Amino acid sequence: MILDEKEQEIKVPEVQLNLYKPTDPVLVPIVENRIATRAASPHYIRHIVFDVSGTKLEGIVRPGQSIGILADGVDNNGKPHKVRLYSIASPSEGEDGQGRHISTTVKRMVEEHWEDNSLFLGACSNFLCDRKPGDMVRMTGPSGKRFLLPENPADYNYVFFATGTGIAPFRAMIMDLMHSGVTSDILLVFGCAYRTDYLYDTQFEDYAKTHTNFKYIKAVSRENLRPDGSKPYVQTTLLDKADVLMPVLKKKNTLIYICGMKGMEAGIYQNMVLQGLVEYFKPDETLQAIEPAKWPWEVFKKGLKTGERLFVEVY
């Protein structure tokens, strides 16, 4: 039963942690490595599936958790590469329905050093994206015990804000919600630069067509300008799509999840406050004495203390 207007304690399930550490990783094979964007995208983002059959990870990794990967070889100083964490993109039952195949979403890091314009390649992201089915990789984890769906998911509504590969945990969470038959409101807001950067777009479009409780909102910053000529971002959907978002956000049993680039966090908080959604935060005494609409930008930029209905994982 959905407890629509009732405040309640939010409990997340207990999960298993650090079954494999960087000093003692588990070797697992890759079973799938495919492009996650549209073919013409300027970014290289891949959906990678691992087979964890027969390991301690089989059947226990949950959406919102991460696994670690250790790239082969050594860094420029001759030392082994450090572990890199990647969010789980598969539901609790795995890609195979048995919890044996788990996935993540990886963007190749291909950048330039601003000092000398030399090329910089992310060691682990490129290592992973280069792997083929059958290749073995060293895995650690799982990690993460807070950024999870609640114990009783049917009692809540959900609003997910994501940019880029930050959509990975939300794919996993939404799949769990869909598979469990949750009928409460589920809203996904995804931001990217171009339409070619959409991730898992067909899957979410299909959900929107077949589930009346699911809404899929996209903010494409470099293609579709807002009426005032400014660029649309995830944070501006709180204003531009208020007719869809606000009825759900105003409910006392709605949970907000934010994942992706840290740059969107302050804007989301500010627009939430401007829309009167102060109950998601815990302002200090100084702020309590000021009308929320007049809170200075620095408050949002430096970090506003959030309440328990807001789950954030940004980088």
* Residues that are catalytic: 86-87, 259, 313, 315
Strands (E), the chain: 26-35, 45-51, 66-70, 84-87, 101-107, 110-112, 119-121, 136-143, 157-163, 186-192, 214-220, 254-260, 310-314
Q: In one letter, which amino acid is 188?
A: L
| 3-class state of residue 197 by DSSP | helix
Q: In one letter, which amino acid is 132?
A: K
Euclidean distance between CA atoms 180 and 195, whole angstroms? 30
Of 76, 154, 150, which is closest to residue 118 (Cα–Cα)? 76
